[in-house]
Structure 1
């Protein structure tokens, strides 16, 4: 499993997620977006409809009758009822990601200590490839 740590110093998760979701769909994958904050999920949903200028990113809120058909599913738990193997944790709170191929952990500056603990925890596990990304102006740069 690959885990990408995204430190959000400029933009909130709802502005970063549409680009990650678009790249996920372009790779032929489905995405699960997880947050305990219903307000944040609502803002992410709006951004998926409007943030990408030339198209919208089809998605749905988890718990509906059509979860399995959603290319991007938003919810509060790690149940990929849409068959996703890619997951974006939007609220910065690590959850175990069994069965996922790739996880994006987006965290704001106030959650950096939690992210560091998660980095160390995942470093003790076999088969986990960790990468750290930070915002540098308007682009993402991979850091040490």
Structure 2
């Protein structure tokens, strides 16, 4: 199980998440995007339709249709009704339920850095978890820092 911590500094979630979602879907996998914030889920739903004019990323909000058919599902809970093996936690809150997936993307900003540090340390003792920490350089490019 791999957990990627993405520290959002120069690039906002709205620019970082779509690229990861596209890569997951292009690899033939499915993604569950989780946020406790209904407004954030609504914004991400709109964003995934329009982040690039030339792209099409099929997705839906959980409960809006046949969840099992969605390559990308946006929901409040860590419940992969679409059969996802990848999960993106986008509201800055770590959830241990993410450990049931093959890969988790944990996005956090300055407002939730303390909680991210606690999650990072809490995962250190788990043999089956590979942790990676990504931060941005001065040009906004992601670089693995740990």
Instruction: Tell me if both proteins adopt one fold, taking TM over 0.5 as the criterion.
Output: yes
- Residue number in structure 1 paired with 2:57: 57
Q: How does 1:1-144 map to 2 (within 5 A)?
A: 1-96=1-96, 97-136=98-137, 137-144=139-146
Distance 1:14 1:76 in 2: 18
CA distance in 1, matches of 2:16, 2:53: 14
**Conserved 8 A contact 2:11-2:140:** no
SS in 2 for 1:82: coil
How many residues are treated as equivalent by the alignment? Answer: 144
CA shift for structure 1 position 84: 0.1
C-alpha RMSD over aligned residues: 1.1
**4+ residue segments displaced more than 4 Å:** none
TM-score relative to the length of structure 2 = 0.94
Q: TM-score, normalised by structure 1?
A: 0.95
Q: Aligned partners of 2:116 and 2:26: how far apart in 1? A: 28
Q: Which runs of 5+ in 1 are unaligned?
A: none
Deviations 1:39-74 (A, max 9, x none): 111111111111134212110000233000000000
